[in-house]
Structure 1
Amino acid sequence: MIPILNSHPHSAPSLASLTSLLKTQLNAINACILEKMQSPVTLIPQIAGYLISLGGKRLRPLLTVASAELCGYEGTRHIQLAACVEFIHTATLLHDDVVDESTLRRGMSTANALWSNKASVLVGDFLFSRAFELMVNDGSLDVLQILSQASSTIAEGEVMQLASSHDLELSQETYLKIIGAKTARLFSAATEVGAVVANADASKRKALAWFGHTLGIAFQLMDDVLDYAADQEKLGKAIGDDFREGKVTLPVILAYEKGADSSFWKEAFEGGVRDEGALAHATRLLRESGSLLKTNHIAQDFVNQALESLKIFPKSHLKEALQDLAYFSLHREV
């Protein structure tokens, strides 16, 4: 794994403190998800249930609940909205696996590999629709605006990434804009919705939205690193998927800008030569050029911004758990 500098003051940061603090709420979220994904069309709960049961971290719904309770919320509205956020996330995963032609997710076969592309897309559509039902049922125009805008922004980000596939001239700035839309936007929406539910003031709402955004960017950048540097068994998907699919991610952008064997990158991304030998060479170049480490450092900069945004909140176990989550984003192996 790539070393981390100036990292967490304690060892082995994890999600454990957050999931432990919110265990009751997490159980309620899971119950809500199970209830709301039901349909008389049996293939829908079959596919949705399969993907949801694969053992995802429930990170985004946890962010909604944590943000609301960090702002003093004591009701139950945040449970259904957390489930709503997870439905949006799951729908995007179903669609992404079709677009990327992926066959593995979290070490298991993807829904499109087990059923079909058509079934995956349609069940994803169902989950998006069910998410919007939950938004409407909540009755808040603020909530509806945040989550509906997030849904469209995520789609825009995915299209931007598709349009930039194989493009070695992609700038760091444009790439950060893409992942800000396709990944970080839902993190930001999850945290901001929590603040809205709690009727938090504008400064806390802004702080939590920024926490979600910067955390989401850091998570995606570490995904970019892990795709070349992780242990495949721990990662739960094939190493090098981004490379095989021709996705130009930040480590590649940095290596290409640095002039690290430019002809190889052109042959790989523009010429389509992306076999296992090419992947091994790409990984070696990314390590030797320092591009993986540089990406890691950029992710750490975003984590530092996330931590800074939490300073507005008084000390609490929940705040400490969110800080630990930010550090975890840099140290995770999955």
Structure 2
Amino acid sequence: MSSQASHSKPSVLRAKAAPPSSLIRKLLKYKYYYALLLPGLIYFIVFKYVPMGGVIIAFKDYKLTQGVMGSPWVGLKWFRILWSTGDFWNALYNTLLISFYKLIFGFPAPIALAILLNEVINRRFKRIIQSILYFPHFLSWIVLGGILFAILSPGTGLLAWLGFSSSPLMQPESFRSLLVVSHIWKEVGWGTVIYLAAIAGINPEMYEAARMDGANRFRLISHVTLPAISGTIVIMLILRTGQILSAGFDQVFILSNDVVLHVADILDTYVYRVGLSLGRFSIATAAGLFQSLAGLLLLLFTNWLARRFSDQGLW
């Protein structure tokens, strides 16, 4: 009996000291990396995923006094009202138009700028230019809006010296163009960071082999640089397409005014104006939900097209 007890005791100890699972081992091995990742996860959970519960307001006749759960369900009532409102369709049209302008003119700009910066030989001059181009990205639209107002003022700004009697910010026919140009001015420098990093990862031997074949600078760019960073370009294009229905709330809100409202009002400002200014939270939530779902569908469709024609995509 004593021998059997002595044999069974070590087996029990071995069972208790069983090695941890592979998942636990990986967590312990990379625990410091996960600790660095934790603040970002907490941010997205608290400010991105938890607020998704408020989406049910779009299907309720929301009253502040009754709360979210106490307000009665109304189904798709607010969506029907929203789609029958002329202001919503005008905001949707402006959003699509401004976003397509930014996509057509703004998306290729950092690619071309990154290629041009990569061709600069003088490193000191290159860093100075990069710093100048990056700087507007770190300024808020409040600051940049003040700069634009000062420059484009017909009384005291640059336009006064050129003899203009009105500001482009007050002219509906030029306001959208000003939005696109100012957006490129603010973000083009920062967008080059990704493409410069992609260019830096190209094998130098590919350039050497192309030079041995007699390729000039233009052919090096068209036959080596662009094909090598095509994967990055496709991914950035897919992500940018998913944001087509978000034309930039901060920029439009700061630069727009009542004179150009009919050409400047986008879905973001429409949701803000109807939801916060007028207190119609349910219809504003319905508009925001429509905007998010349409953006998701555009993202999925663009990724499908990219996978079909270039075999590259987000997944």
Under a length normalisation based on structure 2, what TM-score does the superposition of the two structures give? Answer: 0.32
- Which is greater in Rg? 2
Give the helix-richer structure, 1 or 2: 2
Under a length normalisation based on structure 1, what TM-score does the superposition of the two structures give? Answer: 0.30
